[in-house]
Amino acid sequence: MVETKNPVANSVMVLREEFDDWAVLFNPDTGQAFGMNPISVYIWKNLDGKHPVGEIVKDIRVNYNNVPGEVDEHVNKFIADLVERGFVGYKA
Amino acid sequence: MSECKCSDKTEEKRKFSLNCIYFYLTEGCNLKCRHCWIQPKYQGEGKQYPSLNFETFKSIIQQAKPLGLSSVKFTGGEPLIHPNISEMLDYVKEQDLRLVVETNGVAATPELCKKIKTCKNPFVSVSIDGSEADSHEWVRGVPGCFDKAIQGIKNLVEAGFRPQVIMSIMRHNKSQMEAVVRLAESLGAGSVKFNLVQPTARGEKMHESGETLTIEELLETGQWVENELSKTSKIKLYYSHPMAFRPFGRMFGDNGVGCGVCGIFGIIGVLGNGKYALCGIGETVPEFIFGDATVDSLKDVWENTKMLNDIREGLPKRLEGVCAECLMKNRCLGSCIAQNYYSNRNLWAPYWLCAQAYKRGLFPASRLMPKTTTKTLEYAK
């Protein structure tokens, strides 16, 4: 089932941006770290509870070149993975 | 778009199957490299030092397959001067094991290259430490070995390989790094890997005498390779600094080269004298010898050696110093705990490059946990 509420990043998570627009996402509770590519970083920054997934996808289409047609599927899958890991929830 | 990558393994997912054996086939070597961390005896004309018994080799493989063995690495000393190398290659092929060979190329004859090629998914790397004979032979210690190594690469290419060229960088040859890349391209190599001289055995003496690069130089050179030199070459370039210093895009981007994690949880070393060891470090650190293949059961060694079990239990959570504070520790695993132990006699000590970089304020802040403690400085020398 597709979640209709706006996703929001867990405030515990730490995002460290680097010189090449990639970033490391760190979970202080578990010590886990994840490499994030520039579009993942862009998505992460928009997981503030104010942006529906559809709006994030729309912005990606506007702001990036060579966006694949199935970008909405990719974004939803990415966010679902973050939710599964407990890094993201949905605004009540 | 790629999803989150670089995740660590959780405790419950860890399985300690023996995936790969590193065979240090010979106690001697036909070169006498000034930076070698194994420091084998020089096997010049007319000399012959012991090497792994062929029957012992076969027995080890037979014992290892039920433990999960899927690949072997032949290294040394110099694996291609083993008196039974041809039979060993036949046996590896017969056992359907993936083969990796690390060689100096001098003894890479057309016949051996063809035979290696018949094994399963083979990969070969050849050490070249300069773009011309003077520089290479200054490092390798034997006149004439440059032309022979180049011929070895040509033989490998002729056999269908795109071998990896490995260059160990030091003060003497740093200026030739780009030229080595061009040489590798012209020869048909598939990639170039730049290794840092480790402060172990002969490499330790080079560090002490100032023949290696400073921390600042190593980090600057790494950035140059990662961000500039790699863009000028169609073959892949690897620079062997720890993950904390490597841009994510270079590891996981569209043309990424991966993150080169040590397979410590799934490997064991076998030395030329038939001893089981963590890896080649067993040549210089007796604590890393775990048994003797001629008398001990591999299953028993693999499952019951205290140090192996300590490593399995302790990595990465017991790492100390800057490694304890590093966001990459779940993947990097302290970069090389054999080296860390050699330098500190402590399995959990941090990697020398990271400790020294941290002390100098050169460790990437974005790769450190939010609150780094003063204990981090403990190991920086």
Q: What is the pLDDT of residues B313-327, one digit of tens each?
A: 999 999 999 999 999
Task: Write B299-308 long-range contacts (CB < 8 A, 24+).
Answer: B299/B63, B299/B66, B299/B67, B301/B268, B301/B276, B302/B16, B302/B18, B302/B67, B302/B268, B307/B278, B307/B347, B308/B268, B308/B278
Q: Which of A12, A17, A29, A34 to substitute to test the interface with B, most B CBs within 10 Å?
A: A34
Q: Do B3 and A18 touch (CB under 8 A)?
A: no
pLDDT band at A30 (very low <50, low <70, confident <90, very high): confident
The minimal CB distance from B4 to the residues A40, A71, A75 is found for: A40
Q: Do A16 and B367 touch (CB under 8 A)?
A: yes
Q: Which of A32, A71, A73, A82 to substitute to test the interface with B, most B CBs within 10 Å?
A: A32
Q: How far out from the chain centre does Cα B56 lie?
A: 24
CB of A23 closer than 8 Å to CB of B364: no
Question: Whole-angstrom Cα distance, residue A84 to residue B184?
Answer: 45
- Chain B: nearest CA to A63, how far in angstroms? 14
pLDDT value, residue B259: 67
Average pLDDT over residues B185-210: 97
pLDDT value, residue B177: 98
Q: What is the pLDDT of residues B230-282, one digit of tens each?
A: 999 999 999 999 999 998 888 887 777 776 677 899 999 999 999 999 999 99
pLDDT value, residue B373: 47
Residue B231: both structure tokens together: 């863009």
Q: Largest alpha-carbon pair distance within chain A? A: 37
Q: In this model, does residue A40 exceed pLDDT 50?
A: yes
Q: In this model, does residue B189 exceed pLDDT 60?
A: yes
Measured in degrees and rounded to the nearest 5, phi and psi for residue B24 equal -90, 85
Q: In this model, does residue A91 exceed pLDDT 90?
A: no
Whole-number average pLDDT of chain B: 92
Across B102-131, b (16+ Cβ under 10 Å) vs e yields bbbbbbbeeebbebbbebeebbbbbbbbbb
For the CA atoms of B214, B218, B220, B223, what is the dihedral angle to 10 degrees?
A: -170
- Chain A: nearest CA to B19, how far in angstroms? 25
Range from B173-177, B179-183, B214-218, B244-248 carrying the lowest mean pLDDT: B244-248
Q: How far out from the chain centre does Cα A70 lie?
A: 16
B261 touches chain A (CB under 8 A): no
Q: Residues, chain A, total?
A: 92
Q: Do B8 and A40 touch (CB under 8 A)?
A: no
- Structural element, H or E, at residue B221: helix B215-227
pLDDT band at B379 (very low <50, low <70, confident <90, very high): low
Which residue, chain included where needed, has tokens 């597709």? A2
Range from A56-60, B251-255, B334-338 carrying the lowest mean pLDDT: B251-255
pLDDT band at A31 (very low <50, low <70, confident <90, very high): confident
Residue A62: both structure tokens together: 């506007």
pLDDT band at B5 (very low <50, low <70, confident <90, very high): very low
pLDDT value, residue B289: 97
Question: Whole-angstrom Cα distance, residue A34 to residue A55?
Answer: 25
CB of B43 closer than 8 Å to CB of B82: no
| Reported ipTM | 0.75
- Chain B: nearest CA to A64, how far in angstroms? 11
Report the 10 Å Cβ neighbour count for B214: 12
End-to-end CA distance of chain B: 42
Q: Quick one: residue A73, left, alpha or beta (phi over 0 = left, psi -120 to 50 = alpha)?
A: alpha
Chain A partners within 8 Å of B6 (Cβ): 24, 33-35
Q: What is the pLDDT of residues B128-175, one digit of tens each?
A: 999 999 999 999 999 999 999 999 999 999 999 999 999 999 999 999
Q: Do A31 and B8 touch (CB under 8 A)?
A: yes
The alpha carbons of chain A give a radius of gyration, in whole angstroms, of: 13
Closest by Cα among B366, B308, B317 to B338 = B308
pLDDT value, residue A2: 56
Range from A24-38, B21-35, B91-105 carrying the lowest mean pLDDT: A24-38
Q: In this model, does residue B381 exceed pLDDT 90?
A: no
If you average pLDDT over each of A63-67, B90-94, B257-261, which comes out highest? B90-94
Q: In this model, does residue B33 exceed pLDDT 60?
A: yes
pLDDT band at B378 (very low <50, low <70, confident <90, very high): low
- pTM attached to this predicted model: 0.88
End-to-end CA distance of chain A: 17
Average pLDDT over residues B54-58: 98
Q: In this model, does residue B290 exceed pLDDT 70?
A: yes
Q: Do B1 and A24 touch (CB under 8 A)?
A: no
